[in-house]
Structure 1
Amino acid sequence: MVKIVKKLLSLKELKRCTFSVHPNAKPAFDFFFNHTHLFCRSRLNTSTLHVLNQNQTFYGIKKQEDEIALFSGYEFIGFDLANIDVTQHNVIILPSLTDEEITLQAWIATLRVVLTSAPTEHLEKFRRALNDSVPSYCIRHLFEQKSITQKVWSEINAVSRDTLAKQNQKMNKTKEPQISIFERLENEYAG
């Protein structure tokens, strides 16, 4: 196995660098922030968020001398790149990763959190969202198959496959267009 050399940025380096989310990590970043979690961030005050997120570790690569593109570390409830003081956190730079490796690391970081906060009443919907959003090579790397099946998902979440099937049926029913009795009669007797 190849040893990956990591570099922890010094306080001096942190102060002069600008930070962004790496483009290959953006889909995982968006997925994390666009899906419902079991917690409600808006109910936590600023000081609570600050305490919960102290000493967070970010991972990134250097795009330019003073520009860091993050691909991991953003997956915590108080992440706000515009308002975070990176000098209060650890930033680890990996010198050479391919775009595919960055994507994989971003999804691993995201899934580490979202898999433990999937809303029970929407497990099937969440499984489908994962299959639609996560690149298949990432799913294959993590689950050793091309997609997350109901069988695997039920085992991970300690629910029966029947529960997922019922959620699936409920989702499909809500997608069917509802036609009122008046519209049905009108269609039936329209000449």
Structure 2
Amino acid sequence: MIYKLSIGYYFEGFMPINIATIKALKSCKKVKIHPNAYKVFEFVNSLDFSFCGAIKQDLVNKKLLTVGLVLHAKKVGDELLIYSGFESILFDINTINLTECTVILDDDISDSEIELQAWIGVFTNCFLRSISSKNLNVLHTKVNELVDSKIAKQIFNRTHLSQNYLAQMAGKSKDAIAKQKSRQNKPPQDKSITIFEQLKESINEQ
């Protein structure tokens, strides 16, 4: 049985969504990341967060907090293919208990919409909040490599994320990102700098 609600969707207009019942979730034999969202999943796992690891998860009621985890997925046969919600710190593909969180199903969603929703979830819950500014050079490179120009146009209002635009978003100078890229592109032998020099460079980027 699936409960049907009619609420606003990420895309233009409105369409019904389905919240999976416990019975429907228990019928899923496998839980995977949807193929069209997998590169987004890998992108999230490669990000460096300012707040990552600051709170010990075993000291909070993780089971209770997981109730607030909302996953978007597509059910194909006995497989549940997740395409959004995996950006949460509480999500672990190896240990997730579907009956403890809310799963929104849309079996009619297209592959292109799945990729867009995956990126929307990431930029909403990660990109605009707590990504570390120490590796903006890596972030800049990955976004331009992984985000399709049509999706970038919808999210950033431009087809390409420039260094200048990312600097404005992060509240940093364009030179700070350029310096990070310069260090990134240096040969290994040129990266042996003293702790004092590292501290000096870090201060200059503020």
List runs of 5+ in structure 1 lacking aligned partners.
179-191
**Which of 130, 134, 157 is 1:121 aligned to?**
134
> Residue 13 of structure 1 aligns to which amino acid in structure 2?
A
Q: 1:176 to 1:146 in 2, by over 3 A?
A: farther
| Equivalent residue runs for 1:65-80 within 5 Å | 66-80=78-92
Q: Which residue of 1 aligns with 2:124?
A: 112
Q: Percent identity?
A: 27
Q: Is it true that 1:17 corresponds to 2:28 in the alignment?
A: yes
Asked if the contact 1:57–1:90 (Cα under 8 Å) also holds between the matched residues in 2, the reply is: yes
Asked if the contact 1:57–1:92 (Cα under 8 Å) also holds between the matched residues in 2, the reply is: yes
Q: Secondary structure at the match of 1:77?
A: coil
| Equivalent residue runs for 1:128-139 within 5 Å | 128-139=141-152
> Residue 12 of structure 1 aligns to which amino acid in structure 2?
K
Structure number with greater Rg is: 1
**Which of 26, 35, 52 is 2:47 aligned to?**
35
Q: Secondary structure at the match of 1:4?
A: strand
Q: Which residue of 2 aligns with 1:150?
A: 163
> Residue 98 of structure 1 aligns to which amino acid in structure 2?
S
Asked if the contact 2:19–2:105 (Cα under 8 Å) also holds between the matched residues in 1, the reply is: yes
Q: Which residue of 2 aligns with 1:181?
A: none
Q: Which residue of 1 aligns with 2:16?
A: 5
Length-normalised TM-score, structure 1: 0.81
CA distance in 1, matches of 2:123, 2:34: 17
Higher RCO by CA contacts (8 Å cutoff, separation 6 or greater): 1
Length-normalised TM-score, structure 2: 0.76
CA distance in 1, matches of 2:96, 2:113: 26
RMSD (Å), alpha carbons:
2.2
Q: 1:79 to 1:150 in 2, by over 3 A?
A: same
1:103: Cα distance to partner? 0.7
Q: Secondary structure at the match of 2:164?
A: helix
1:136: Cα distance to partner? 2.1
